[in-house]
Homo-oligomer: A and B are copies of this chain.
Amino acid sequence: MNLSKSTIPWGALGPWIALAITCLFFTSQSSRFLSGENLSLVLQQVMVVGVIAIGQSLIILTAGIDLSCGMVMALGGVVMTKFAVDYGMNPYLAIVCGLLVTSCAGLLNGLLVTRVKLPPFIVTLGTLNIAFAITQIYSEAQTITNLPPAMTFLGNTFNIGSTEVSLGTVTMLVLYGLAWFVLRETAPGRHLYAVGNNPEAARLIGISVDKVLVVVYALAGLFYGIAALLSVARTGVGDPNAGTTENLDAITAVVLGGTSLFGGRGIILGSLVGAVIVGVFRNGLTLMGVASVYQTLITGVLVILAVAADQMSRKGAR
């Protein structure tokens, strides 16, 4: 059992190779692709999914899954913008309230998974529906506009050389650095891996498995809240319809990034690479002027090819 799950078919270097292959391909196809401006754009486009993928990665590393991530993010965005606009709350306070709501949603997931011992798939399927409905009901399905500038400051940009860099991109990168460091260099980080790798052993060794899980789900909620803030900053509105596709996108980013859905194996930076790969596909294909149906087709083929090429290359190296 252990052995079989250990043969990681898609290791630590894999995602980088896949990304490199993809980028090479698009560079050969479009001269605009490799410009600083375009790449900065891609990073801005993936920052929301990228930050969601941090939370999702933590959960998948514990052998769980979170279907509710996109909807919890939408809820957070609606709460923080509505608090600021409709109730005239101080924008920073409103942001904190939004983060609190998403963290609580995560906490709820965690408690249901640990206390009631429900499968994460079922729990988060439930909260997916609940968060969606509450978002629609609370926002009355209306986009929230006229946000105070303090809410969208993460959308601002600064220049490095001639390339525009958005604060949101920087935020995402910093969060990844942080998560990577914590997972690698701190005791709680290692406990998370142990819980995902062999929960029974973790329990016997004396790690409080439930506590680790609850913290992970709540933290993931916090990341979704930050993603909500980024999404608000990027779009300039509180959008009740945000987050619909982010669900599958985030899980895809994590899996493309080489993290095992069986838990305990994976590197969080891979999820960033995974998210970027998805963004690069979309950007590159548009630059090539591929019609949207064919974009879908090519994306499907490329996802398989990119991962397979890496797989092959590592087989040769063995």
Residues of B within 8 A of A9 (CB): 117-119
> Is A123 within 8 A of B304, CB to CB?
yes
Query: Quick check: is A294 within 8 A (CB to CB) of the other chain?
Result: yes
A303 is an interface residue with CB less than 8 A from chain B: yes
Number of this chain's copies in the complex: 2
Complex interface: stretch among A130-138, A149-157, A158-166, A221-229: A130-138
- Among A63, A122, A123, chain B packs the most CB atoms within 10 A around the CB of A122
**Residues of B close to A134: CB separation below 8 A:** 297
Interface segment, one of A40-48, A89-97, A197-205:
A197-205
- Tally chain A residues at the interface, Cβ within 8 Å: 57
Bound Cα distance from A101 to B121, whole angstroms: 31
Is B133 a contact of A294 with CB atoms below 8 Å?
Answer: yes
Task: Say yes or no: A261 contacts B121, CB within 8 Å.
Answer: yes
Taken together as a complex, chains A and B put the C-alpha atoms of A311 and B113 apart, in Å, by 12
What's the Cα separation between A142 and B9 when bound, in Å? Answer: 40
B137 touches A293 (CB 8 A): yes
Q: A98-126 CB contact bits vs B (8 Å, 1 = yes)?
A: 00000000000000100011110111011
Question: Contacting A133 at CB < 8 Å: which of B125, B136, B293, B312?
Answer: B293
Contact of A300 among B119, B127, B199 (CB under 8 A): B127
* A186 within 8 A of partner (CB): no
Q: Specify which chain B residues have a CB less than 8 angstroms from the CB of A199 in the assembled complex.
A: 4
7 tightest Cβ-Cβ pairs between the two chains A and B:
A129-B300, A133-B297, A4-B200, A130-B300, A126-B304, A4-B199, A133-B296
CA distance A261 to B120 in the complex (A): 10
CB A270 to nearest CB in B, in angstroms, measures 13
**Known interface pairs A118-B307, A119-B260; 17 further A-B residue pairs with C-beta atoms within 8 A, sorted by A's residue number:** A9-B118, A10-B118, A10-B122, A116-B311, A116-B312, A117-B311, A119-B255, A119-B307, A121-B251, A123-B304, A126-B303, A127-B304, A129-B300, A130-B300, A133-B296, A133-B300, A134-B297
Partner of A201, one of B1, B63, B125: B1
**Chain B residues within 8 Å of A10, by CB:** 118-119, 122
The CA of A260 and the CA of B3, in the complex, are separated in Å by 19
Distance of A285 from chain B, by nearest CB (Å): 12
In Å, the complex CA distance between A191 and B255 comes to 27
Cβ of A301: which chain B residues have Cβ within 8 Å of it?
126, 130
Contact residues in B for A299 (Cβ distance below 8 Å): 129
16 CB contacts below 8 A, A to B, read: A1-B198, A4-B198, A4-B200, A4-B201, A9-B118, A67-B248, A116-B311, A116-B312, A118-B307, A119-B260, A122-B304, A123-B304, A125-B303, A130-B296, A131-B300, A137-B297
Q: Mark A218-259, 1 if CB is under 8 A from B, else 0.
A: 000000000000000000000000000000100110011000
A2 on the B face (CB < 8 A): yes
Interface check A262, CB cutoff 8 A: yes
Bound together, the chains give a CA A200 to CA B6 distance in angstroms of: 10
Of the candidates B112, B125, B137, B300, the one whose C-beta lies within 8 Å of that of A126 is B300
